[in-house]
Amino acid sequence: MKVNAYGTPNGATPLGPIQIDRREPGPKDIVVDIAFCGVCHSDLHTARGEWDGTKYPCVPGHEIIGTIRTVGGEVSKFAVGETVGIGCMVGSCGHCGSCKAGLENYCENGWIGTYNGDSADSPGHTQGGYSQTIVVPEHFVLKIRHSHDQLNAVAPLLCAGITTYSPLKHWGAGPGKKVGIVGIGGLGHMGIKLAHALGAHVVAFTTSPSKRQDALDLGADEVVVSRNEDEMAAHVGSFDLILDAVSASHDLDAFTALLHRDGALVLLGVPDTPHPTPDFGGLVFGRKTIAGSLIGGIPETQEMLDFCAEHGIVSDIEMIQIQDIETAYDRMQKSDVRYRFVIDNASLESAA
Ligand SMILES: [Zn+2]
Ligand SMILES: [Zn+2]
């Protein structure tokens, strides 16, 4: 079926209206009419070819909320008319150890991205949520239990939410734990909300003093301006966990120094150029860890969505029409958004 979308034929051309093909649904597929799609930094990097390997034409978008139009004959967990979510993945091998453990995001044979992933469908790769409709295997579709008026602000949970929730859970954030969140952007603002809701003592790190009150409003117990050496020194050796949502290359030692014995600094972003080599002595004295984490598996993504519905947690968003996507990208690059753009996909009706 042909649907309206927004995409680009190459990295140098701004996104514009195009029509794309969606496959006819198979027995295990669900057809979802998309209502909202969050705008992630990965969309911009991929569309503009800033990471190697973008497949064109590129239609980004992996924070998708929509309504089920039809279900295949073997679909058992979902029904027509249900509100559902689709995140960063639409496929994985299903049989490796990671997939069997519900960690499709670490599939040993490579998971299939919601966009820019290999696909048997036209045009040979997956195309994402900047479109009217998407066809997704049931296994990768998520239940949404938030109230109807929250749905646009739920969309960013599908990437920004799970990217922070998964490491918070894995490293045991909760009551009695001191958790740092570095960088108050799309990821970081969700990290603050989730760590707070999990019961941890939350400290937000920012380079801009102007974000201090924002961080407190999001749920931080304390805010540290990371350029202020005295403020940083006051926290040396005190953290159980620090989530680092800053992808630009930076000095990690400033944060490993703040970890307590057995503490972990967990990197959520991949820098364009490597971070300076960490001071390994600083890790050895204190049995500290520098680790990484990538989104989360499907069962944990459902757990996160249910946790957020129960606690009334959504993303802070600014709605846009698809026609404003390039302006949104430019503003996102300048961190000029509090804290996530979400596309009203109804605006695709007039596109193409
Ligand atoms: Zn993303
Ligand atoms: Zn697998």
What are the residue ranges spanned by the domains of the chain? 2-159+296-350, 161-292
- What residues are neighbours of ligand 2 (ion), with CB under 5 Å? 92-93, 96, 99, 107, 109
pTM above threshold 0.75: yes
Cα(271) to centroid(ligand 1), Å: 15
Residue 272 pLDDT = 80
The DSSP code for 198 is: T
What's the CATH superfamily of 2-159+296-350?
Answer: Medium-chain alcohol dehydrogenases, catalytic domain (3.90.180.10)
pLDDT digits (tens, 9 = 90+) for 257-300: 999 999 999 999 888 889 999 999 999 999 999 999 999 999 99
Distance from the alpha carbon of residue 44 to the mean position of ligand 2, in angstroms: 27
Tell me, in angstroms, the distance from the centre of ligand 1 to residue 126's CA.
Answer: 15
Span from the CA of 337 to the centroid of ligand 2 (angstroms): 36
Query: What distance in angstroms lies between residue 4's CA and the mean position of ligand 1's atoms?
Result: 22
Is residue 202 within 8 A of residue 219, CB to CB? The reply is yes
Topology of domain 161-292 in CATH is Rossmann fold (3.40.50)
40 with 160: CB under 8 angstroms? Answer: yes
For the beta carbon of residue 41, count every other beta carbon within 10 angstroms: 18
Summarize pLDDT for 306-352 with one digit per residue, the tens.
999 999 999 999 999 999 999 999 999 998 999 999 999 999 998 65
Q: From ligand 1's centre to the CA of 39, what distance in Å?
A: 8
The whole-chain average pLDDT of the chain stands at 96
**What would the pLDDT profile of 205-243 be if each residue is shown by its tens digit?**
999 899 999 999 999 999 999 999 999 999 999 999 999
Ligand 1 centroid–CA 236 distance in Å is 32
